[in-house]
Amino acid sequence: MGDKNATLSVGGNSYELPVFEGSVGPDVIDIRKLYGQSKMFTYDPGYTSTASCESALTYIDGEEGVLLHRGYPIGQLAESSNFTEVSYLLLNGELPDKETLDKFNWTISRHTMLHEQLIQFYRGFRRDAHPMAIMCGVVGALSAFYHDSTDISDPEHRRISSHRLIAKMPTIAAMAYKYSIGQPFLYPDNSLSYTGNFMRMTFGVPAEPYELHPAVERAMDRIFILHADHEQNASTSTVRLAGSSGANPFACIAAGIACLWGPAHGGANEAALNMLREIGTPDKIPHYIERAKDKNDPFRLMGFGHRVYKNYDPRATVMQKTVREVFDALKVDDPLFETALRLEELALHDDYFVEKKLFPNVDFYSGIILSAIGFPTTMFTALFALARTVGWVAQWNEMISDPGQKIGRPRQLYTGPTQRDYVPVENR
């Protein structure tokens, strides 16, 4: 890992801290022994300068707008690969040969059904429950149904539970949707692709055959690829932290889903489309740009800005291209796309956004595509959770396989009262 050191000087004392080099990207200063030596913690709420783990899965260069999975650029994967192949790559580190990929697809397809009793579980939710609320509950409940794959120290158990989670997520998400609109659940059809099967379970009905639109199936599969992993984002870090205590994978992924739901993270795709609908026509854009810049107004341009990207999010580039493909395939148009393009153009020429390096992120255009395909906004984040499951699972596996893995346990800067004596209520 290199032989550089950093020196920290505090109050006349110096501490030598090892510096590690990754294969690419910023070096890191190893502060693990700092507390033992100096009795000081480091302070970094929001982890803006902290590498929380070592990982070989995904690399982001936020300044250059680069995203690599196991070294492969996201643009190439989105163009030429498919979601299950990318899943294999994330889980195993290399692209599979044809035979291995066929076997992987076969294995995943054998896990698409849910335990029949889980259907009763759905019926406990209100019909108007948010699909993410249902996803959190059902995925957490999987650990009550699949006891045979929850020994996390056994690599075979980890493999099976990973496959189960990736395979069952489309069924769980489609059922959440069907439940909300009062239609019967559809069982999976394993003769279809991973994504085709999901679309049929979502939009098909038992009364008639479902006709898959190949261009839309392809676009949806690409959207899944774009969401598959994104290194140590909030939900992935949540999965790792939950898993660091030895919790079972189903519980950990349920924790990831809960974190993803927030509007600053995966909930932004829903919020971005709602925002575009509120803006409506391009003439209203300047008003909303002014609001986004106003410190006294909580309004932000949803789908804009990113903790890591200080350049165009490479996923947004693919997403923008996919909008047109879906419109052409479905022979539809949505004036909100023009509004979105104009909003992007105006924001990218506005000093506030230029100075703060705020660019469209993956969520800016995804809502327009998903809406054209027929998904209600409440399903958007559920689709993100479906696709991100492979990233969560791969990161969780990487962490558990690391012999040096420890429970995650941050420290704090305490600013509360110092020790004081309890006062009985009658004396207060």
- Name the DSSP letter for residue 25: S
Backbone angles phi, psi at 165, to 5 degrees: -65, -45
CB of 228 vs ligand ACO, minimal distance in Å: 12
Active-site residue (options: 221, 229, 313, 363): 363
Regarding 287 and contact with ligand ACO (CB under 6 A), the answer is: no
Q: Which is nearer to ligand ACO, 157 or 307 (CB)?
A: 307
306 is catalytic: yes
Whether the CB-CB separation of 270 and 374 falls below 8 Å is answered with no
Cα torsion at 288, 290, 295, 301 (round to 10°)? Answer: 40
Among 356, 374, 376, 401, binds ligand ACO (CB under 6 A): 356
Regarding 305 and contact with ligand ACO (CB under 6 A), the answer is: yes
Q: Which is nearer to ligand ACO, 18 or 262 (CB)?
A: 262
Which helix (DSSP H) or strand (DSSP E) does residue 182 occupy? Answer: none
CB of 28 vs ligand ACO, minimal distance in Å: 19
Q: Name the one residue in this structure whose structure tokens are 């305490």.
A: 414
Q: What are the contacts of 319-322 at 24+ separation with CB within 8 A?
A: 319/223, 319/226, 319/362, 319/364, 319/365, 319/366, 319/369, 320/360, 320/365, 322/219, 322/222, 322/223, 322/365, 322/369
The token pair at 58 is 């995904």
Q: Which is nearer to ligand ACO, 4 or 356 (CB)?
A: 356
Regarding 386 and contact with ligand ACO (CB under 6 A), the answer is: no
DSSP string, 79-135: HH--HHHHHHHHHHSS---HHHHHHHHHHHHTT-SPPTTHHHHHHTS-TT--HHHHH
In terms of DSSP bridges, do strands 4-10 and 66-69 run parallel, antiparallel, or are they unpaired?
unpaired
Count CB atoms within 10 A of the CB of residue 368. 25
Q: Which is nearer to ligand ACO, 363 or 398 (CB)?
A: 363
Regarding 307 and contact with ligand ACO (CB under 6 A), the answer is: yes
CB of 363 vs ligand ACO, minimal distance in Å: 5
Regarding 270 and contact with ligand ACO (CB under 6 A), the answer is: no
Among 213, 300, 310, 342, binds ligand ACO (CB under 6 A): 300
Residue nearest to ligand ACO (CB): 305
Binding segment (CB under 6 A) for ligand ACO, from list 73-81, 88-96, 302-310, 368-376: 302-310
Among 140, 188, 196, 303, binds ligand ACO (CB under 6 A): 303
Active-site residue (options: 111, 306, 333, 334): 306
Which residues sit at the interface with ligand ACO, rule CB under 6 A? 264-266, 268, 292, 300-307, 356, 358, 361-363
Query: Could you give the residue numbers annotated as active site?
Result: 306, 363
